[in-house]
Structure 1
Amino acid sequence: MPLPLKPEENIYIDHKILDGTYSMPTMQAASDHYTIGYMVSGDRRWISTKAIRTSHAGDAGISKPHVYHRNCSMSDTPYDRYVIKVKTQIFQPIIDIIGEEELDFICSNYLHFTKDSQKIIHSMYEEMLQEYNKNTSYSQLILQGMVYKLFFYMYENHIPSEEDEHTLYINKFDERIQTSLCYIEDNLMDGSSIEDVAAYVSLSPSHFSRLFKNVTGSSYTDYITDVRLQHTQILLGTTDLSINDIAAKVGVSNGNYISTLFKKRYGITPTDYRKEIKKSM
């Protein structure tokens, strides 16, 4: 479980750079605070009792207390992230202004930003970390104002992303399915067959298939295809691997097959997609 805030603190902030393969070992939920996280680098799948979503460098996420979640690796890229914990009563003025319904909407997906906005947000987090580490008698009061400034900058400047189209909203919570989702990410290269995943959570393939559809609203086949294509996108943008090597890394034996799936889904070949990514860097 995330540690609660110290009695004398309303705001906590830290910055960590973790190995890209790091995954949270269990589901966790905050008890007394909201969390505002920002990812400088990395690729993560966020799994909660409410949704399955993905995040990448430059994305921010807001989590409410008592919402169990877990994130796992989608690439080897170092997981560089900032986390701010805000005590519930300090966060309440934000809710009073935007409303609970709007907050739920913001929390349902990661927030995405332009490159210019990412630089501003990164600098705001760094400034807050410096103030937190000063730990003067008035640092906590200063940090409260900085939290409000950060939140409303994010609120006013976030932009839509095609990643949001891949968010799956959970119909009901089932620990076996949540466990299987991280197993899929960790074993994608080996194929993540439905037989292997079902066995990992001690279910028959047929039972697992029905349960997966009931919980996620997606068939296992559609879900694993989507995961493979998301990993293919990441690898095209972060490596110089051939499409055959990428196919092997996402659990597909045939590079032509993954190319066909990729073009059907995104309307562009993997080669052209890689060229577009390099142009934008």
Structure 2
Amino acid sequence: MKKEVTGLLIGGVFVLGAGSSVFAGPPLTNVEGVGGVALNPLAYVANPIGKDETGLFGNTIVSKPNIGAWHISLPDSDINWEAAGVNISFFNRLEIGYSHESVDIDNYAATPGTIDKDNVSAKLNLLAENSFDMAFLPAISVGVIHKSTNFNTLVDLNLLNDNSGEDYYAVATKTLTMLPVPVILNAGVLSTKGYVRGVLGFGDDRDEAFFGNIETIPIENVIVGWEYAGGTDVATGFSTHSMWEAHVAWMINDLTLVASYADTGAENITSTFPPTSFGDGWVISAQYAF
């Protein structure tokens, strides 16, 4: 799927066009298998079928897939975090995604060494960007992520409630083209019971957190951006610190390469029990849009 590219937004928004026309397009497949940035979903669906393009097997209903692989290293806590996922969209409105995460924790006695987590997601685009010929309107979507982990220790100790649960979110995304460089703003609210994004289990309290992104395209095919995910408290004593990451991405045709610095909080996994943050580290990703 060859495209003339005037820019790319990591996290996921490709900005495609010719001349002075710029259009928001597909997100990347993030760590949890949702079209978005590393941490957060975007309102755009993954890999939509463009004008005069066809989707899977030449149809105009089902998009071609978008796949992504991630490696996250948090050396302060001796954590190596891998993820791989895929997205596909229907009617350019409904996105379905899946990802598998494998989290290797060597410095925490309560873990079995490697934790496996699966995510199945659905996102519905309620309002397309610039609907009703209103140039100021963002794209607006809602979504759900079903998460399950094989880490049962905290559940078996009756400290957490379950090893599976659902996240719900609402998100708005807007591309601004009137500035010296294209800027994409993204903001939303996530509702979750997941402790450490569900990797270590799920509490009995549902908490809501703000998330947001700012993405810029300073030169062709290069994106520089920042994202933030708010902290949550899902059970007595079990909270996850807010986290942020800054990234740069480069797209070569349909291949996207990402490098990022991430900060999950000042403490590491051994600082307190239960841990709330895991220090800082680096992230790399490779993505392909068919």
TM-score, normalisation: structure 1: 0.25
Structure with higher helix content: 1
TM-score, normalisation: structure 2: 0.24
Q: Which has the larger radius of gyration?
A: 1
